[in-house]
Chains A and B, each alone.
Chain A
Amino acid sequence: MFSAFASAASLAIVLAAPASLVRLHGVDIAVIAIYFAIVIYIGFYLKRASNTSEEFFMAGREMTAWIAGLSFVSANLGSLELMGWAGSAYQYGILATHWYWIGAIPAMLFLGIIMMPFYYISRTHSVPGYLHLRYGDGTRGLSAICFAVMTVLMSGINMYAMAVVMKVVLGWDLNFSIWVSSITVAVYVALGGLRSAIFNEVLQFLLIWLGALLIPILGLIEAGGWTNLKAQISARMGSEYVHLWSTTAHFKDNPMGIHWTGIVFGLGLVISFGYWTTDFLVVQRVLSAHSLRAARMSPIIGAAFKMAVPFIVILPGLLALSVLPVHLVPANVAAVTGQPSYNEVLPLMMVRYLGPGLLGLGVTALIAGFMSGMAGNVSAFATVWTYDIYGAFMNKKASDSHYVSMGRWCTFIGVLISVGTAYIVQHAASIMDYVQALFSFFIAPLFGTVILGMLWKRATKAGGFWGLLSGTCTAVGLWVWVDRDPSALRYVALSPDAKAMAADMYRALWSWLVCVIVTIVVSLMTRPRPVAELNGLVYGATKLPEEHDDHWWQKPIVWAGAIAVVFVALNIIFW
């Protein structure tokens, strides 16, 4: 989800590659083994602190802002994300950075400053839980079922894609990668619940940085610094590869085939806000914070780290354009010619710079990234299934210990479904593209439903339900239209020069607009809830608790402002 492997199915093609890219030494194996040992130990250790449903599903709501913030970013920083966007940077140049900056930072700050108080004060345990409080059971059921199904399917697809990467990079057997990683994740999440997932995500975040940071440092030394790197890329590929905005005035002027309106409104406003503020996979981490202030600071801390991620993801892709002696090609071409594909850029850079020991650390970073993403999926699935489907519609009056037990079993079942999905896509790779598209259908309209629910008192139960349904149907309809008739892209993305990336953004924009318009129209035609019932749920109907910071610089808004200034400055510097 929000994932970089634009076509994960293309990974299947590289399976044909006979030899592995990396040869590990004994010390590398030791580094990987230590990681697995610590991860499993944390699961067993934290089982003692995960006995109630609040502890198992919400980590006892005891996490500090730093831990929740790092976990918030880490749950999204999967290895496919790392490798995919490094490949995209090689393919599209610095434009890929938009997915980390405008495609994340404004939404994360908005979550911390505007939305978090309502999620937190309502004491909801999930995003569908908030929809239940605001719109009733219909909207909750629709969002919970879509989320649960898509989460485990996506987890399986990522699992398969990662196993393929491990086969290509390390020569590992597909079954070995799938079962070892999934059993490990199932054990530590089922034992320690969200607390264990969060603890491991913090460790994984550190590992990803330590394993990947040396590549851009050594790469910049080899390339002779940033200025020389830009000159080399401009000479080799064209200056459009090193500019963020100046080439987006027309679809034809940049390698991504995209217009700035698509980036700003489609990616920056709809897709990004939809993912970072309503996808329960990431929001669950913030809900585990120990106080409202910590919950507001978590996404702000996360935003600061997210803004730095291009240094370890995008920069290696750009460096590869300059220093790699081989030319990388799309996966389908690689399958025919035997050349390395875009997706292999990060492993190739690892092999170039990292010797024994450091290479093990780099590979561990990839494994850690994969496991953090999978743990995020299964812990969110267990929570939504137990609270918003099983507890809401099937068994409303069970004991607390029964729900905890259900959560533990759900974790195993979720992992098993994921493994099953991984094996299904192994034999029918095209399913991956469909499932990835399905997930994207839901995120944009869900943001419309949630944001109207939080900011507009007049939004009604019927408005929320029909808005969400019509927005989702619009996304599906537009996708089917372009899938059946590719020339329809000129209408969806407003230009005959638009490419696939632009289609995703405009589809999200239209589905969000339809959701918002239908929600507003239906709400105005139906009877609103009394304002007194909206306390704690809607802006203007809620008295927010006063926060008492000792100093002005401790206020979340100050830190959000500082990060916003850096964000604007970076966009201007790399304009």
Chain B
Amino acid sequence: MTIGEKFTSAFIAENRWQLYLKGLGITIEIAFFAAILGLILGTVLALMKLSTHRNGKPGVMHYIATAYVDIIRGTPSVLQLLIMWFIVMKSSNNGVLVASLSFGLNSAAYVSEIVRAGILAVDKGQMEAGRSLGLTKGMTMRYIVLPQAMKNIIPPMGNEFITLLKETAIVGYVSLNDLTRAANLIQSRTYEAFMPLIGAAVIYFVVIKALTLVLGVVERRLRRSDNR
């Protein structure tokens, strides 16, 4: 086969390009919902980890969150996905939902460490000043500390989103036809590895490059308020 024929058989014949597109759709869908869940749950976990009693000692919440993060980080995400699919949500046949949930719960553990570090990097005088005015801990966190922590959080968070997007490539394990599996299927149909696999790689790369550019813009915009 010539290169042109290989290309045709991998992408054009039988409207195969639609398979990549559908696969990409599923990849992005899972990553998107997982990112949102990870962001929300991760922030909650970070606040739990930082919570203290009145006497300054860590509370029950701290230990719950720490245990969660330890367990999630201590087990492979493929295994977490399989457990979610075959055990926890056995009765569900909505693969995208199960995968989003699994990756979201996984990402939350990493996000929580990013958020926690971002909060700790804010000068503790900011919290003290808020408290000295009579603002509650929650109010000071919301109006003063978290907005400043955002600047520390955005760059590593971008990293986490990118990792998450690529990690969804394992959903083939639970029979979801994401981008990687689409390429895999076409390879097994055409007995040709090069075009579908490299093609999928290029698509991942383009999407992630676009995401990086967007994150760069957000980061610069947040920094601008520093020197006004």
Same complex for A and B? Answer no
